[in-house]
């Protein structure tokens, strides 16, 4: 059964790991990778990724991408959203901290931020305008 607009937006706003998909060329399927994301109901979704990563390269070329999140407990539920990239911006430490705190336990945030600043490249942020939605709650299976 499809979710209502408020149900799907609320579900997407929860800290699930998303599958990001982006067109990777006519000779292959889309690039699909796990990613942390941020979303507030009624707003834009955004993701952080390395400035020179394959994801960033493909998102820039396609101008659009998809996010899909799911769960299996207490019911099987998913939400998929895609749409155009609204803008790309330089990632900030505040955004990285926000995203890290969304997914990691509080005592692990500072350690991850230190790792990211020493081992990972600069981030960029891609903002997605949620345009097309698919969703369902299949109940307890």
Give pLDDT tens digits for 9-48: 999 999 999 999 999 999 999 999 999 999 999 999 999 9
Domain presence at residue 109: no
Strands (E), the chain: 18-22, 31-35, 38-39, 45-50, 64-71, 76-90, 123-128, 132-139
The reported pTM is: 0.94
Task: Identify the band that residue 141 occupies on the pLDDT scale cut at 50, 70 and 90.
Answer: confident
Question: Is it the case that residue 140 has pLDDT exceeding 90?
Answer: no
**Averaged confidence pLDDT in the chain:** 97
Domain presence at residue 77: yes
Residues 113-139, mean pLDDT to the nearest whole number? 96
Q: What is the CATH number of the domain that holds 58?
A: 2.30.110.10
Based on the structure, what is the number of domains in the chain?
Answer: 1
Domain presence at residue 79: yes
Percent residues over pLDDT 70 in the chain: 100
Domain of 48 in residue numbering reads as 5-91+124-139
Quote the pLDDT of residue 116. 96
Domain presence at residue 108: no
């Amino acid at each position: 059964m499809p979710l209502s607009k408020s149900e799907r937006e609320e579900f997407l706003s929860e800290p699930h790991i998303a599958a990001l998909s982006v067109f990777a060329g006519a000779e292959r399927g889309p690039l699909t990778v796990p990613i942390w994301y941020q979303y507030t109901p009624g707003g834009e979704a955004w993701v952080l990724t390395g400035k020179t990563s394959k994801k960033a390269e493909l998102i820039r070329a396609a101008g659009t991408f998809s996010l899909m999140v799911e769960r299996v407990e207490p019911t099987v539920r998913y939400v998929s959203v895609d749409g155009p990239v609204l803008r790309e911006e330089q990632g900030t430490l505040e955004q990285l901290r926000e995203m890290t705190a969304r997914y990691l336990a509080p005592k692990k945030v500072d350690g991850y931020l230190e790792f990211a600043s020493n081992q990972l490249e600069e981030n960029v942020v891609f903002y997605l305008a949620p345009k097309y939605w698919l969703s369902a709650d299949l109940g307890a299976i």
